[in-house]
Copies of this chain bind each other. A is one copy, B any other.
C-alpha cells in the first residue's frame, strides 16, 4: 500500500453561523482548494462528506457547488466520530489506489436546534440520557476512585479556552478563569456549563493524496502513519462498565501506535475528544500518555499546556474551538497538520514531528485514532 499525506485544509469560523449546511460546506471546501494552488479541482477523485445531517444525496449537491466531479463519493456518518472515520476511510481509498486525491469535508449545522434531538438509538436503550449525564457519572467515579478534583476538570476548560482564544476559527475567543468555570451554571454535578461543549455550526476539510503525488502539491505534506479504531457497541453500560476506563480509546490508541510504529512518548501534540472536561482527563490515561488515575495530576502539573510535555487540544478542543459533530474530527486533523507544518500562529508548540488525534462517538462507544508524522512511515505491520 502507498503512503498517504494530508496536503491541504480549510475550515470555517466555528460558532453560530448564518447560511445553510451547504453554504458552510462550500466555504470550507473553497478555502481548502485555495490552500493547494497547484491542485486542479478535476484531480479530486474521492469525496466524502462527514455529517450527521440526514438529507440524502447532499454529498452530490455539495460536490457540485464546489465544482468537483469525483469518482468515489459518499456521505459518511458515525455520530461525533464521523470526521475521524471519514479520514480513515479516505486513507484506505488512497492507500489502496482506488483514488489518488481525496477530499474529506465535515460539516454540521446545529445552532437552530433547541436541544440535541433525541435519537432512535436512545430509545433502543430504553430512554433518553443526555450526554452530560454520562459525563457526570464518569467524573464522579473518577473523583471518588483517583482523587481527581473539580478544580482539575476546571483546569481543562481554562486551558482549552486559553488555546481557543489564540485560534481565529474557534467558537469561543475569550479565556476563562478557574473561578469563572467553577461558578458557571451547574449542568449535572460535578459538570458545569464551562465543562461542556456547546452547539456549534461549522465545516472543515482536508485533502489526502499518495506519496507519488504529494510533493507535486506541497512542500510540507503531513503523513498519516497509522490508524486505530474501535466500535464496541451502542450502549453506555455494556461498553464502559467500569466508567473510568474506556476500552474503545485504549484499543484504538494501541492499534494506532502499533501501525505507526510509535509510542505515546513519541507524540508531540495531541487533539483529544473533550466533549466534557472529564473526557480529556480519562483520555490522557487510556490513550497511554499517563498511568490510569494520573490524569488529574497531568493537567494540574500543566503537562498538557502549550509548552508542557504533550500539548493537548491546542486549537481549543471541542470545548473551546467548538464541536460541530461531523466536522469535529476533521478539525482535529487540521490542528495537527498546522502544528506539524509550523502554521499554528500564536498556538504553535515549537517544532512538532508526530501528532495524534482521538475522535469519539456516543458515550465513548466508538473511537477513531490517527497518528501523523512529518516523516513517512517506513513500513506497515
> Which residues of A come within 8 Å of B, CB atoms?
1, 22, 47, 52-61, 63-64, 69-79, 82, 85-86, 88-89, 91-93, 95-98, 119-121, 124, 227-235, 251-252, 255, 361-362, 365-366, 380
Contacts and interface: CB of A to CB of B under 8 A. Distances in A.
B231 A63 contact: yes
B234 A119 contact: no
Contacts of A58: 120-121
B92 A85 contact: no
Given A54-B55, A71-B228, A73-B366, 13 more contacts: A47-B231, A56-B79, A60-B233, A61-B120, A71-B229, A71-B251, A72-B92, A73-B85, A76-B76, A88-B98, A89-B89, A89-B93, A98-B227
Given A56-B52, A96-B95, A98-B91, A72 B361 contact: no
A72 B230 CA distance: 7
A59 B72 contact: no
B57 A78 contact: yes
Contact of A96 (B72, B96, B366): B96
Contacts of A366: 60, 73
Task: Count the copies.
Answer: 2
Contacts of A60: 78-79, 121, 231, 233-234, 361-362, 365-366
Nearest to A1: B96
19 contacts: A1-B95, A47-B231, A55-B119, A56-B79, A57-B79, A60-B234, A61-B120, A63-B231, A69-B230, A69-B232, A71-B229, A71-B231, A71-B255, A73-B229, A74-B89, A75-B78, A89-B93, A92-B93, A95-B97
B97 A1 contact: yes
A57 B98 contact: no
Contact of A61 (B54, B76, B85, B124): B124
Nearest to A122: B57
A69 B228 contact: no
B233 A69 contact: yes
A118 B365 CA distance: 34
Contacts of A72: 85, 88-89, 92, 229, 231
Contacts of A64: 233-235
Nearest to A368: B72
Contacts of A47: 231
Nearest to A235: B64
Contacts of A86: 74
A57 B235 CA distance: 11
